[in-house]
Amino acid sequence: MIKVVQIAVGDIQANAFLAFRETSKQAFVVDPGADFDKIMANLQHNGIDEVTHILLTHGHYDHMGAAARLREATDAKVCVHERDLPMLKSRSASLAMYGIGEYAPCEADIVLAGGETIEAAGIKVDVLHTPGHSGGSVCYTAGDVMFSGDTLFYKFRGRTDFPGSDAREYAHTLSVVLPSLKKDYTVYTGHGIKTTLFAETALNP
């Protein structure tokens, strides 16, 4: 069974996540957007000795601002979709120049296209390309859980008014890509509380 620890980070309280098997001392981290020390303290509190991967759902600063420090501290492999790769080294593309929060340029170790399966912390993680909020937005699924970034929220949806957003792509993601999934994942969202895929498919306005 996969254990997920949710950590609200940064001035706009984006969600970072630790994911690991309860019997393991390895974990992967999703979207370390800020508060490096807070993330490290949670890793230590949960008995994690090794972070194998840093999985970015997209390249906006509030989801990757502390990735460089975490990568340096843990030697974890940073994963991002190819269409959001430029955001990792651009304050403007990542929206950091418009926001209030951490940002440090970060190297990517694994560039994703969508459709891959990664083994992270001994857990098989599938990569689903879900563009719209950004061109390189992805959802990660592992076991019964999904990390949706800013693609899907509890009874809400992500924004498409940012540079690089595409409302038409997003409509396809929400109406075709996500509803095509046959499993009812517990969805850990990029901001706010968790939900389930089937509930959002049925009820999200």
pLDDT in tens, 67-84: 999 999 999 999 999 999
> Looking at the 3D structure of the chain, how many domains does it have?
1
**Is residue 36 a contact partner of residue 70, using CB atoms and an 8 Å limit?**
yes
pTM score > 0.85 for this model?
Answer: yes
Question: Which residues of the chain are under the pLDDT cut of 50?
Answer: none
Domain of 25, CATH number, reads 3.60.15.10
The domain containing residue 160 runs over which residues? 2-203
- pLDDT tens column, 176-189: 999 999 999 999 99
Q: What are the residues whose beta carbons fall under 8 Å from the beta carbon of 11, sequence distance 6 or more?
A: 34, 99, 100, 101
- Work out whether strand 77-81 and strand 110-112 pair parallel, antiparallel, or are unpaired: parallel
Q: Note the pLDDT of residue 103.
A: 86
Return the pLDDT at 193: 97
Per DSSP, what are the bridge partners of residue 2?
A: 21
Interacting residues of 182 by C-beta distance below 8 A, sequence separation 6+ = none
For residue 110, the Cα-to-chain-centroid distance in whole angstroms is: 14
